[in-house]
A = this chain, B = another copy of it.
């Protein structure tokens, strides 16, 4: 019995992700948000409540899409470890492509580093997301271990932490102005770390 919303929430959110990922929380002004979403302040506040609320939803959306990307590497792979190594090389390769994404670094890490001493609520959210990702990696590793891909002595929680550190490392180093082959070498070197945890045939 009333007017339709002119804006699709998911579309607006995707645009917000692009802006915030590129410029960060403090680096994105409401003026820029209005322009990016093609929405007037009233509509933005009616839909998302506040700049904080919009950022928080954007970060959650980013995390969801990142977790889907990891799945696309793990599901088709015969070996989980192969899949993880392909993922590591893949994100190094992606960092190579100029302007393919809003930013080469991970938005979650950017948020964690930017907000840990300025915006506790956002830092907490970034922390939770990273803990969830580590848990997902851990479960993949547990499965790999059960399948006999990993050494029986492997501490999967610990390896998941190491693995997450490597993902963070690649994506942060990708923000440096390295040559494409330097970055893919790094991807290969990082991927090879997993080899020492692998059962040899």
Of B23, B24, B173, B175, the residue contacting A164 (CB under 8 A) is: B173
Q: Pick out which of these stretches binds chain B: A48-56, A57-65, A103-111.
A: A103-111
B175 pairs with A169, CB closer than 8 A: no
Question: Is A71's CB within 8 Å of the partner chain B?
Answer: no
A176 pairs with B103, CB closer than 8 A: no
A186 pairs with B172, CB closer than 8 A: no
Complex CA–CA separation, A173 to B161 (angstroms): 9
- Size category of the A interface is 35 or more
Question: Is A26's CB within 8 Å of the partner chain B?
Answer: yes
A176 pairs with B112, CB closer than 8 A: yes
Chain B residue at minimum C-beta to C-beta distance from A110: B113
Report if A24-B114 is in contact (Cβ < 8 Å); known contacts: A162-B186, A185-B158. yes
Of B113, B117, B190, the residue contacting A162 (CB under 8 A) is: B190
